[in-house]
Structure 1
Amino acid sequence: MQNFSPEIIDAVLRHMNTDHRDDNLVIVRANGAPDATDATMTALDSVGGVWAVRSGAEDSELKVEWPIPVAERADIRKAVVVLYRTACRQLGVEPRTD
């Protein structure tokens, strides 16, 4: 298992939770939390990502494995994009284009 430095993890989490909050929600809804009302990415490693999920009044944690191999920082972005696009297809949601 590849562990990333705290700086890389912090940067990815900050980016996902600031710039891609809606994407987090799409990802968790398609990967085991269909009733989620909020999702925050809280951790990651070379195996997958972890999200704190709120569904109504319930809080839980959801671990999602990366759909592609992740060994370097650039791979994290690719894996999240694949997760997001796959989730959009599964949910019938039009992916953002920006």
Structure 2
Amino acid sequence: MNDDHAADTLLICRTLGGCPAATRARTTGLDADGMDFAVTVDDIEVPVRVPFAHRLTERAEIRREVVRMYREACQQLGIEPREAG
């Protein structure tokens, strides 16, 4: 996520993470219930947790859930999501 999807991570944290003023975000961890991020706001790094829509039970669900979060963030901002590659 951090290297390949930095812009998506920031978008998710700005919308779903409740940090619209964030200038940077990086994934720091995850568990079955959500993802943890370190988000920079006003040059201060703060922890942010974004819960998943449901508890994940299989590793393959992680990618689908992250794509869902990205699309939800785009929808909230009224922007067209790009196709997942």
In the superposition, the TM-score normalised over structure 1's length comes to: 0.79
Note the residue ranges of structure 2 that are not aligned, 5 or more in a row: none
Is the Cα contact below 8 Å between 2:56 and 2:62 reproduced in 1? yes
Note the residue ranges of structure 1 that are not aligned, 5 or more in a row: 1-15
Distance 2:53 2:2 in 1: 20
Once the two structures are TM-superposed, the CA of residue 59 in structure 1 deviates from its matched residue by 1.3
Question: Which has the larger helix fraction?
Answer: 1
Give the corresponding residue for 2:15: 30
Question: Structure 1: which 4+ aligned runs deviate by more than 3 Å?
Answer: none
Matched residues, number = 83
Secondary structure of the 1:72 match is: coil
* 2:31 maps to which of 42, 45, 59: 45
Give the corresponding residue for 1:73: 59
In the superposition, the TM-score normalised over structure 2's length comes to: 0.90
Distance 2:61 2:52 in 1: 10
RMSD: 1.1
Identity %: 45
